[in-house]
Structure 1
Amino acid sequence: MRTVWLALGSNLGDREGYLRGAIEGLQRAGLRLLRQSRVAETEPVGIRDQPRFLNQVVEATTTMEPRDLLTAIKSLERELGRTPGARWGPREIDIDILLYGRRIVDEDGLRIPHPELTNRPFLLELLAEVDPQLLEPVSGETMSRLLARAPS
């Protein structure tokens, strides 16, 4: 079993319902949820003229390899009603792999840790809430330390 940390986000429709649906769908896909952060309302990144997001981080275990996990996540997003749209645009649900244990993955269409992780203070804050001593595998620094240095 591998421990993974996923980010959930929604800014369209029943945002709380989409987050709940994502958690339920991840469990149906075989992930075992260990911990989850609070739900935080955040400003959109990239395209600013859109509704605010609800974001949450979950820690889970899985037997899936990273590529299989990504495939399962994309399938779940479609099942929940996500439709193709602009990058960083509005969406019913967005599920991102933030960390997969201490593995570093750089493949076509899959980068772990998430390439924007250290640029998004809200993700660092939610990860630090779940596990303040969690290490970011590239820098080897804790989420708490990265958050303390993150731009506000």
Structure 2
Amino acid sequence: MDKTTTIAYLGLGSNLGDRAGNLLMAVRCLIEASFVVQRLSSIFETEPIDLDTDQQFLNMVAEARLRISPTQMMARLCGSSICSIAKTNPLSRLEQ
């Protein structure tokens, strides 16, 4: 199978503990999972939406590339340590 470069824009966010440190840890986890992080957005503070909390979020976007299919990229993402630090599977919001 011919491997193509897949580009993904991944939304990262944290509203607990060291929010900026959690974002940095998420980027490190992407790199450890062999994602090539090309660019990072600025960090933005946002209001929680559809959550019963007053804690603000820090959010950012990472542009990542990998020479595998989009399906394989999602499997790699879900199998990486980035999901173990998340409260939920990144696909769970898509399933709602």
Q: TM-score, normalised by structure 2?
A: 0.74
Number of residue pairs matched by the alignment: 90
Would you say the 8 A contact 1:67–1:110 is kept in 2?
no
2:76 aligned to 66, 72, 94, which one? 72
Q: Which runs of 5+ in 2 are unaligned?
A: none
Tell me: CA distance 1:55–1:43, structure 2 relative to 1, closer, same or farther (3 Å).
same
Runs of 5+ unmatched residues, structure 1: 85-93, 97-108, 112-152
Q: Which has the higher contact order (CA 8 A, sep 6+)?
A: 2
**Kindly, what percent of the aligned residue pairs are identical?**
30
- The answer to whether the 8 A contact 1:16-1:54 is kept is yes
SS of the equivalent of 2:64 reads: strand
- Alpha-carbon distance change, 55 to 110 in structure 1, aligned in 2, over 3 angstroms: closer
Give the Cα–Cα distance (whole angstroms) in 1 for the partners of residues 90 and 13 of structure 2.
7
- Whether the 8 Å CA contact 1:8–1:22 is kept in 2: the answer is yes
Return closer, same or farther for 1:66/1:110 CA change in 2, 3 Å cut-off: farther
Residue 110 (structure 1) shift: 9.1
What TM-score does the superposition give when structure 1 sets the normalisation length? 0.50
Q: Once superposed, which parts of structure 1, at least 4 consecutive aligned residues long, lie more than 4 Å away? A: none
2:42 matched to 1:5? no
